[in-house]
Amino acid sequence: MTTETRAFEPVRAVETVAVDVRPAGSTAGTTVPAYEPVDQGVREERRSLSAVRAGEVLSVVGAMAAAAATTWLAFGLILPVSGTLGSVIVGVLLFLLYYGVLCSIDNDGAAVRDRIAAAVIHVIAAVLLLALVFVVTFTIYRGLKALPHQNFYTQDMTKAGPLQPLSVGGILHAVIGTAEQITIALVITIPLGLLCAVFLTVSRGPFPRLVRTIVEAMTALPSIVAGLFIYATLILALGFEKSGFAASLALSVMMLPIIIRAADVVLRIVPGTLQEASFALGAPQWRTVWHVVLPTARSGLMTAIILGTARGIGETSPVLLTAGFTATVNKNPFHGPMVSLPLATFEFVRSPQPAMIARGFGTAAFLMLLVLVLFLTARAVGGRGPGQLSRRQASRVARVSRRDHERLLLRRDGGDLQLMDENRARTAR
Amino acid sequence: VPAVGPGAIGPGDVDRPRALVSRPVLSDRVFRITVRSAGSLVLVIMALVGTFLSLRAASALKVSGWSFLTESRWEPDAGHFGIAAVLLGTILVGGVAVTISLPLAMGTALYISEYAPKRLSRTLIAMVDLMAAVPSVVYGLWGFFFLQGHVTGLARWLATYAGWFPLFKVDGAHPNDPLATTTVYTSSTFIAGIVVGLMVTPIACSVMREVFSQAPLGEREGAYALGATRWGMVRAVVLPFGRGGIIGGTMLGLGRALGETIAVYMIISLVVSVQPHILQNGGSTVSALIASKYGEATPFGTSALMAAGLSLFLMTLVINFVASTIVARSRSGAESDA
């Protein structure tokens, strides 16, 4: 048998021998047709499994081109209308129309509807994602004037009047204010929020249900009303001054229900079997919570806290009512007004001066980067579900398990030794 | 010796469950007291917020009575104050926001869960979640410095050709005068609504996507096996299954939109009067009213603002509860293995 074996089809050269697959000694059973050798002259072609076909791609491209051309014609030459937004809207509508017509040439109704629906959904997703990306890049782009100045991060606005150039003044006071306010708010909300979430998970009965209902209701509290509450109680009724502490209390009132709710959701999906296993081994409730429930839900809890923090950092309205406004660094949260990053942004862009507006955008871009870092941390920490371990956690668990095993071996051997001693003593007696 | 076995139990003997008394150890008792007191403390704080708001609001409501709901002026110290105008403005902003966000959120959620390649969808999910965490002041900046200048053309077109519809009417506009200024279309409810809509879309979108992705695989494959196209499958399986998520996500977004302060406050020029023309300069929302009036308010004026805040809170509260009930009632509820 002479076969021309090519480098890319080695299998076929081997398989050209017909094989009787019937088990030896059996005459009845499945009849397998003899394997017919493939004609070497004909090369098999791999079938394309891709859903994308050339005709479809062409009709999309064609519809796009036609829509662009018509829009250009209409807006540039014929119709007395203008405007970027309008031309984009008209262009998209024309694209959908042309695409539908193109599809209906060689498809039936259901297929045309399928194609048009797919096109509409793609367009909507593209519009939203582009708009969101644009919001972010616009802020960063406008902030680029202020961000490269080093003094932007190391000075406050004491010496910078509205007409000063960007080389004077910065947002140090707002950075310090945000850091202190969010720290105080977290010191209040993390222990209280996590303990309350644990309470909601471990307890049964009407009281936890009441607490859960109230907490869920308070997630609807508009942030400005939280600010108004602190303003009316702490500042108007109790006579404290506007300060960073008041702002962080307002932030806490706003963040507490958010963190409790997110943590409660995470704690509730900890498998009941794990907790029962712990109880079955004789662990008291607090050990079960501390060693089983909380570690299992750790990544989700971190996510809840970090996302709550991101909400708190970016919130302007409660701070607007309670923190006051200053242009200088104030490190004491209990005395004197204190500015945070979103509030500084808001106050900067109220001024008509271009330098102040650039500072406002710079502050907003800095704030957004801060939120981005927090968010990425949350993703890195909370990307895994409960029970899925990172490599380091897995190796630690393996190490602990090995140690336990050794310990048990040691104890068994030790027990044996003791038993031997007892036996020896008995025989001696 | 009596026989031992099941047959030996006489008719008079009834199995009685043993009294199971579990007495928690000391550490457990401390633990329970700790978590219970934390829960109680949270309850007290939240109840304090609610009662304090109601008490302060009550002193203002006692003066105004039912006219609080019908009066449109806001002059608390003269005795004329009500939320008719600001509540209407809030609802209009929320309405524009939902009109913008519902199709965007639904389309994007469908794209992520049904159309996007698997590798891309993880990135998109992260992106949408990130956008939900972007501070509202950033959206406000974008709306004020970019969108305002670009959307006036659309607003003018709407006012010119759809001005017969009362919402789109603009007083003082000269659509046929090419040199007419566009300032009459700026700082409007419409622009604020678009910005807020874009802001709440990621929130609504992530709720919807979560629910869409839970649509049962068996029913999806059943639809395909019966010859459905992808859109046919989406219409027959995913959308009915995710209806609760669509409604719930939209209402959650609406709740956020109604309470949004800073983006609205930056864009809208506050006019406290009944102003149903959404394209026209000037508008009002409850939160913008609070943000602008709290500083110069007398104690009674603060009480009146509290009453306005309380009514806003009640509105968002009702919307959130309805939303969570709908999400929980629908088939879309998550099954856990507990």
CA distance B111 to A250: 38
At residue B336 the predicted structure's pLDDT band, cuts being 50, 70 and 90, is very low
At residue B254's C-alpha, the angle toward residues B251 and B255, to 5°, is 90
Position A110 pLDDT exceeds 90: no
Contacting residues of A for B146, CB less than 8 Å apart? 138
Q: Is the per-residue pLDDT at A428 higher than 60? A: no
Identity of the residue numbered A223: S
Strand extents, DSSP E, chain B:
74-75, 80-81
pLDDT of residue A30: 67
Q: Does B322 touch chain A (CB under 8 A)?
A: no
The pLDDT of residue A29 is 61
The structure tokens listed for A1 are: 């048998």
Which value, to the nearest 10 degrees, does the dihedral of the CA atoms of residues B35, B38, B39, B40 take? 120
What local confidence, expressed as pLDDT, does residue A49 receive? 72
Q: Are A319 and A251 in contact (CB under 8 A)?
A: yes
pLDDT average, residue stretch A81-106: 84
Q: Which residue has the higher pLDDT, B299 or A37?
A: B299
- Can you tell me which residue has the tokens 């707002």? A174
A297-310 pLDDT per residue, tens: 887 888 788 878 88
Q: How many Cα atoms are found within 13 Å in the side-chain-facing hemisphere of A410?
A: 6
**Residue of B108, B229, B317 lying closest to A128 (CB–CB):** B108
Nearest residue to B267 (alpha-carbon basis) of B183, B142, B154, B181: B142
pLDDT given for residue A214 in this prediction: 87
Among B41, B138, B296, which would you mutate to test the A interface (most chain A Cβ atoms within 10 Å of its Cβ)? Answer: B138
The answer to whether B126 touches A129, Cβ cutoff 8 Å, is no
- Tokens at A244, concatenated: 């960073």
pLDDT above 70 for B329 = yes
Q: Per-residue pLDDT tens for B151-179?
A: 877 887 788 787 778 777 777 766 666 66
By C-alpha distance, which of B86, B137, B131 is closest to A366? B137
Predicted confidence band at B231 (pLDDT cuts at 50, 70, 90)?
very high
Range A206-217 average pLDDT: 88
Asked whether the beta carbons of B206 and B129 are under 8 A apart, the reply is yes
Residues of B in contact with A359 (CB under 8 A): none
User: Residue A338 pLDDT > 70, yes or no?
Assistant: yes
- Whether B28 sits inside 8 A of A256 (CB atoms) is no
Instruction: Please answer whether residues A389 and A397 qualify as being in contact, where contact means their C-beta atoms are separated by less than 8 angstroms.
Output: yes
Give which of A120, A127, A128 to mutate to test B binding, by max B Cβ within 10 Å: A128
Least confident of A12-16, A393-397, A423-427, B181-185: A12-16
Q: Give the model's confidence band at B10: pLDDT under 50 very low, under 70 low, under 90 confident, else very high.
A: low
Share of chain A above pLDDT 90, in %: 20
What ipTM did this prediction achieve?
0.83
**Residue-wise pLDDT tens digits, B110-133:** 999 999 988 888 888 888 888 888
For B257-267, how does the pLDDT look when each residue is reduced to its tens digit (9 = 90+)?
A: 998 888 899 88
Cross-chain residue pair A196–B38, CB shorter than 8 Å: yes
CA distance B22 to chain A (A): 12
Distance CA B115, CA A180 (A): 44
Question: Of A97-111, B68-82, B123-137, B234-248, which gets the smallest average pLDDT?
Answer: B68-82
Query: Running DSSP on this structure, what letter comes out for residue A7?
Result: T
Answer yes or no: are the C-beta atoms of B124 and B116 closer than 8 Å. yes
CB atoms within 10 A of CB A37: 13
Mean pLDDT of all residues in A23-30: 53
Whether B161 has its CB under 8 Å from any CB of chain A: the answer is no
Residue A424 pLDDT exceeds 70: no
Give the pLDDT confidence score for residue A40 in this predicted structure: 66
How close does chain B come to A126, measured CA to CA in Å? 8
Q: A370, A356 in Cβ contact below 8 A?
A: no
Position with higher pLDDT, B39 vs B159: B39
> Does pLDDT of A189 surpass 50?
yes
Chain A residues touching B133 at Cβ < 8 A: 307, 310-311, 314, 371, 374-375
**What pLDDT does residue A387 have?**
59
DSSP A18-69: ----SPTT--SS---PPPPPPPTTSPP-PPP--S--HHHHHHHHHHHHHHHH
| pLDDT number for residue A386 | 53
* Minimum mean pLDDT range among A131-140, A386-395, B58-67, B325-334: B325-334
pLDDT, tens digit (0-9, with 9 covering 90-100), for A226-247: 998 898 888 888 888 888 899 9
Please indicate whether, in this complex, the C-beta atoms of A349 and B144 are within 8 angstroms of each other.
Answer: yes
- Mean predicted lDDT score pLDDT of chain A: 81
State the residue for tokens 């004197």.
A336
Which residue has 């307002």 as its token pair? A250
Average pLDDT over residues A349-358: 86
Which residue in chain A has the smallest CA separation from B231?
A114
What does the pLDDT look like over A36-71, one tens digit per residue?
666 666 677 777 777 677 888 888 899 999 999 988
Mean pLDDT, range B186-212, rounded to an integer: 89
Percent of chain A that is helix, strand, coil (3-state, to 5) = 70, 0, 30
Q: Check residue A13 and give its pLDDT.
A: 42
Chain B's closest residue to A377, CA to CA, is B130
DSSP calls for A371-416: HHHHHHHHHHHHSSPTTPPPHHHHHHHHHHHHHHHHHHHHHHHHHH
- Assess B259–A contact: CB distance below 8 Å, yes or no: yes
Which of the pair, A271 or B233, is modelled with greater confidence? B233
Cβ contacts of A265-269, under 8 Å, gap ≥ 24: A265/A300, A265/A304, A266/A297, A266/A300, A266/A301, A266/A303, A266/A304, A266/A386, A267/A197, A267/A198, A267/A200, A267/A201, A267/A293, A267/A297, A267/A300, A267/A301, A268/A201, A268/B336, A268/B338, A269/A297, A269/A300, A269/A386, A269/B336, A269/B338
Query: Between chains, do B39 and A195 touch, taking CB under 8 Å as contact?
Result: yes
φ and ψ of A284, to 5 deg? -70, 170
What are the DSSP calls for B38-56, one per residue? HHHHHHHHHHHHHHHHHHH
User: What pLDDT is stored for residue A2 in this prediction?
Assistant: 42
Question: Above 50 in pLDDT, residue B64?
Answer: yes
Question: How far from the centroid of its chain's Cα atoms is residue A304's Cα?
Answer: 11
User: What pLDDT is stored for residue A269 in this prediction?
Assistant: 80
Quickly state the pLDDT bin for A122 (edges 50, 70, 90).
Answer: very high
Residues B32, B35, B41, B47, CA torsion sign: negative
Q: Best residue in A224, A353, A374 to probe B by mutation, most B CBs within 10 Å?
A: A224
CB pairs under 8 A between A and B: 283
Q: Which residue has the tokens 């047709």?
A: A33
Do B107 and A125 count as a contact with CB atoms less than 8 A apart?
Answer: yes
pLDDT of residue B107: 94
Model confidence at B69, pLDDT cuts 50, 70, 90, reads confident
Question: Residue B74's beta-bridge partner residues?
Answer: B81
CA A213 to each of CA A223, B308, B328, B330: distance values in angstroms, whole numbers, following the listed order = 19, 23, 14, 19
Q: Do A222 and B309 touch (CB under 8 A)?
A: yes
pTM of the model: 0.80
Residue A118 has pLDDT above 70, yes or no: yes
- Whether B201 has a pLDDT exceeding 90, the answer reads yes
pLDDT of residue B332: 47
Give the model's pLDDT for residue B105. Answer: 94
Among A43-47, B87-91, B103-107, B195-199, the least confident range: A43-47
What residues are paired with B281 via a beta bridge?
B188
* Nearest one of A363, A371, A372 to A149, comparing CA atoms: A363
